[in-house]
Chain A
Amino acid sequence: MEKKRPQFNLDELHRLKWLLGGMLVLLSVWTVFYLDFQAWTLMGLTTVAVITTLIWPGLPARVPPWWHRLAFPAVVLFFVGDLWITGQVLPAIVRLDILLLLYRGTTYRQKRDDLQIIILGLFLIVVAGVLTVSLVFAAQILLFTACALAFLLVINLVESAEVSPVKPNAVDRPTWVNMGWRRLWARGREVADWRVITLGGVLFVGVVGLSALLFLAIPRFQLENSLFLERFVTKKARTGFNDTIKFGDVTEIQQDNSLALSVDVTDRAQIPAAPYWRMLVLDEYRDGTFRLSAPLRRANFTGEITSSIARGTARAPKGEPVFWTFYFESGVSRYLPLLGPFEQLRFGETQNFRLAAKLGVLALREEPAAMIAYRVAGMNVADTLEDASFALRLKDHKAPDRLTSTLQMLRVGLKDPDQAVLTGIVTQITGGAVLSAGEFTRRATAWLDKQHQYSLSPVVPPGVGDPLVRWLVSHEAGHCELFAGCFVLLARTAGFPARIVTGFRGGTWNAYSNNFTIRNSDAHAWCEVFDLPTASWLRADPTPGAVTGADEKVQGEATLARRMDRGWSARWDSLRVFWYRRIVNFDQRTQAETLKAVKTATEKSGKQLRVTLSELVERLKTWLASPWTVRRVAKLFSALALLVLAGWAWREFGRGWWRQFRRKDARADPVRAKAGRWLREFSSVAQGSVGKAEAESARSAGAGQATPPSNEAREVQQVRAELERLRFGARATWPEPEPVFRRAQRALRAARRRGRVTGS
């Protein structure tokens, strides 16, 4: 029969329940950290209050009863007021949830209140997960599940241990609050059995594995309905990626180093040397601001489409189709980053969007509340954008009498003094010659590079007139928007239609997850100049440090080698991409692919196993069939001897070691450990007074003197004997441990005091 282990009594179970309930509340409310709702004050208040009541669980009993009577009406009032003032349903519900958790976490609970904590907490975590699709959700839901299961287990144990269930009210002070956390910890160590804890851990890993399997196996079918929760949240995009930008907006985004976009591609060779992830085309310049003009919007954007597929105008090149999968983080923009026009773009679920196929721009109706994934096929990654219809329109509308989208690209819109300055600079750049768009781009970029340096903190000289022109004529450093804006004005002055494109430039190649990672700090603004002879828009990046034409020829693996990222942030991002690829973006097609891959892997491994086994059998047969020599026999017997030796060693040493290991928990007995510590204390002063006292008694015994040993020596002997019994003796023979320890303390103190006296 196994040694009887102690077990938690009812008070200890209640205390454990209190602890787990508090942990669940804290875990739930901490979703506010990554949920972009205004609930920081409530979260902070809940955290402080719950931690305080966890440390001092007697505090809720001091709260006057009227407080509890007022609690419910106050919560309702808070919710109604919140809803009325903010007008947002979901944030108000989340704040209400936190408030209820605060109340439940700081008052004594019945079973139904405990269940409420689980439900409220789960709601908060799931809402945060759905709205943010954050990787933190995975960690949080796992922790929450573990805590909730332990919580339910303890609730069940409390229920089964209670002779008559006591219904606590929120005011009465229960008996379990008198127990200290240290005592609970010590009891926990006594009660714990490493085998049961290990099994619990294994089972929890099993639960995670099982839920992963269920996740893979749950049949999927699309109901073509957009998510309900997202409708209750409104998000504001970064201003730099809106259809109106002021100078400095894009640069502001560059200060943010968080992840903006992750891109998977099926063929690495297609990755351009300098990827420009275009999001928005801005054509109209007015009052120092570039914006998407109404004519361009009308001419290029379709009406709103509600679908999960967007069909573009580009055609995929022949050969193996290349797919680009984008994971676009929320909070960046409602315009989706793309490398250019595409053949088809597919979302995970139905979306409302407008498409400008020729511009290679797609705008969602609202900014996505969570990460949005889309898969693009047949995307044109070249640095030119063919637009034959624009060329035709450009030829037809030479007279600037109508403000069309075509002419908008030619319009500078400045007052005469500014216009004169621009004309002078253009003359300086072109030297009076008629240049092609490409050549003009090269010369204008060189001119700008010569005049200005790059800086994220530019200074626009004060004065009258257009700010861009003021900066252009100065020698101040500038950022990408200033360079791009000035280039557009110069190009238009020179007679080339030009426009600004905003988005991201470059990115790094994550060596762990094999995908492109683009951060907000990669935000960029560049230009496109129309080249009439080729009827296409040429990309022009006047910002210093931009990739030159020679560099752009480097593609594929060479690009990846240059952009390889193996840092710690890349590791974290790879986790996030794994989360997006395998969990968030998991759909019916991925499910079928996964199942097919599992089937293939199983068949392959089974086949491999069969081959390996048959090879082994063949080798054994060959070995047995070959002629027996003395050496072979010796080898065989050596192997057998080794086997026997190993068996003997296990029997002699291994088994004993294993038993010793299994008895380890006996060594960890706190009473034995404490007795051991006291014995060591006695040993350390054995050379001193304790030793003297014992030696004295030994001398008296040895000399056969009639004088008995002194009281102190006798006490030391007795205490030491009792300590040894506690340390090594059978539990049944133990004296009461605490009095023995107290006596040991007194004896040791007396001995040390005597040592000091004699020493002095």
Chain B
Amino acid sequence: MRTARRRFTWNTVLWAMVFPQRGQRILPTISGMLLILLSLGVGMAAYNSANNILFITLSLLLACLILSGVLSWLNFRGLAWRLEIAPPLRVGHEIAVGLGLRNRKVFLPTYGLWFEVVARHVANGPPPPPESTITGKDLKDLDVRAAWAQATSADGRGQLFLRERLDPRSETRLEWLFKPARRGRLRMELASVGSQFPFGFLRKLLTTELREEVVVWPAPVEYRRLAEAGARRTAGGERTSRTGSGGDLLALRRYAPGDSHRLIHWKASARSRSLLVRQFAAESTEGFSLWLRTDATIWPRPEQFELLVSFCATLAEDLFRAGQLISAALDDEAPVPVRRVADLELLLDRLAVVQPGKKTPASDGVGVTKAKRNVLTFAPDGARGVAAYVDGEKTATV
């Protein structure tokens, strides 16, 4: 949607030069306070004595302050930034949050910036309605400090410094190492861009609207396989055609970055004028269906529920790597086939945000669907643990 451009007026320009724009904060540093006090002192002495030498000094001090503002403006001008976050993000795994910087100016470099990056957990569900009015009744119950602390709380907060000169028409990348603490949606925000350039009189802070939402997958967990159940598992199972590393050609798909060049089907690519790669069928057609029930009555303890989700995600990944994951289902939803990496990622995205839910039809925790075999289900194992069952038999615990 295009917004109507504001009409240019000199008043607006002059006012913008005097008063910081919306989203800008300008704070004096120690040097700045010194300069302001010095200007005040010299100004008072100048008026007191009507001495033009002091008026000259005052004029120079004020001109330096204006020069500082102009240089600061030039420093920020033509600068573009973007957040570069490479998934996957997992709980407990360190990731590098990149900040791409580009100086689009023709010949002026940029110096001495810092960036404050904030990672905030996003609650599930629709965003709360904006509170535009605070009534007296609200104020009674409102703990302003707590509300402010909640609003500004963050899972992680980091500062990135541009320590070297950013040449004109060049780019650079700054990295912040961050370790997510919990699964779910995480909003990465570039909270502010600051600088004391050029003379360190003023600390100029720009707030930005740059934010990126990413999903943090559950943390992988160590689990214990139970041998007898594993052996029995191969006795029967659902047969399905899935991609794998077998010898039979299953399908052709578009080339994706990272695919081996050996898999490119040159003839088909030439016909379709786009790169296509071969997909082979998996040699083993044995597989499991994963069914996760989030019934809050089964999982009353949050920490146990978290363990369940992590365990489920770990198992799903392990089975997929082994080519043994056929489908996955959450609660009473229809099972979704998991054939490609994208399917697995979709499953992990779902697991990242899943919360204890309503009661499902078979909520006894060990119930097995009659329609399918090799269905992997989960149930509490004691007060803290979680056990995985294949067709009702305990297969693994954590």
Contact = CB atoms under 8 A, between A and B. Distances in A.
Interface of A: 1-2, 4-5, 7, 112, 115, 119, 122, 126, 129-130, 133, 137-138, 141, 145, 149, 152-153, 155-157, 159-163, 193, 195-196, 199, 203, 206-208, 210-212, 214-215, 218, 220-223, 225-229, 348-349, 583-587
B199 to A, nearest CB: 4
Q: Is the interface of A mostly helix, strand, loop or mixed?
A: helix
Interface in B15-53: 30-31, 34, 38, 42, 45, 47-53
A227 B111 contact: no
A160 B59 contact: no
B397 interface: no
A586 B163 CA distance: 46
A227 B107 contact: no
B262 to A, nearest CB: 32
A467 B297 CA distance: 129
B163 A163 contact: yes
Shortest Cβ-Cβ A-B pairs, 5 listed: A160-B112, A227-B49, A211-B63, A152-B199, A211-B59
Interface stretch (B65-73, B145-153, B227-235, B307-315): B65-73
A7 B196 CA distance: 19
B162 interface: yes
Contact of B170 (A1, A138, A195): A1
B258 to A, nearest CB: 27
Contacts of B48: 223, 225, 227-228
Given A126-B42, A211-B56, A348 B170 contact: no
Given A119-B34, A156-B198, A211-B62, A137 B53 contact: yes
- Size bin of chain B's contact surface: 35 or more
B365 interface: no
Contacts, number: 141
A156 B60 contact: no
Contacts of B45: 228
Contacts of B196: 156, 159-160
A220 B46 CA distance: 10
B329 interface: no
A161 B163 contact: yes
A153 B163 contact: no
A239 to B, nearest CB: 29
B280 interface: no
B161 A210 contact: no
Contacts of B138: none
Nearest to B170: A1
Given A212-B59, A214-B63, A152 B200 contact: yes
B165 to A, nearest CB: 5
A210 B163 contact: no
A4 B167 contact: yes
B209 interface: no
Contacts of B66: 207, 210
13 contacts: A2-B170, A130-B54, A141-B56, A149-B198, A152-B198, A152-B199, A152-B200, A156-B198, A157-B112, A162-B163, A218-B58, A223-B47, A223-B48
B197 interface: yes
A64 to B, nearest CB: 31
Given A157-B112, A207-B66, A228-B45, 18 more contacts: A1-B169, A1-B170, A2-B170, A115-B30, A115-B31, A119-B38, A149-B67, A156-B111, A160-B113, A160-B161, A195-B107, A206-B67, A207-B63, A210-B59, A227-B48, A227-B51, A349-B50, A584-B53
Interface in B151-168: 161-165, 167-168
A153 B53 contact: no
Contact of A133 (B42, B53, B163): B53
Contact of A583 (B38, B56, B60, B200): B56
B169 to A, nearest CB: 5
A156 B197 contact: yes
Contact of A226 (B31, B49, B164): B49
Contacts of B170: 1-2, 4
Most chain A C-beta atoms within 10 Å of own C-beta, residue among B31, B51, B168:
B51
A122 B199 CA distance: 16
A26 B67 CA distance: 25
Contacts of A115: 30-31, 34
